[in-house]
Amino acid sequence: MPIQKFRSVEDMPPVPPCETVDEDCLRRIAGLWARTSAWSGMVYPRGVFKFRSIEEAQAARERVTQENVDRLRRERERP
């Protein structure tokens, strides 16, 4: 399939509509997503956050990452 370049989104051809929806496939995909999110164990705070600087945003991200690491470590240490 050749690569096409467009100068703007307006120049792109419309996406053809999906003709059929396989309910079994959608159910399997939803199950896979649920399973992988349960396995990942990562917890992120909900919502949208504003930060005054990049450094403040980085610190918040590092804090969430460290909280996840600490929580996973505690869970894995349990007998």
The domain locations on the chain are 50-79
Return the pLDDT at 79: 66
In terms of pLDDT, which residue wins out, 37 or 77?
A: 77
Return the pLDDT at 57: 97
Pull the structure tokens for residue 74.
């505690």
Whole-number Å distance between alpha carbons of 39 and 34: 9
- Average pLDDT of the chain is 88
- pTM to 2 decimals? 0.50
The SS3 call for residue 17 is coil
Nearest Cα residue to 44 out of 18, 27, 64, 60: 64
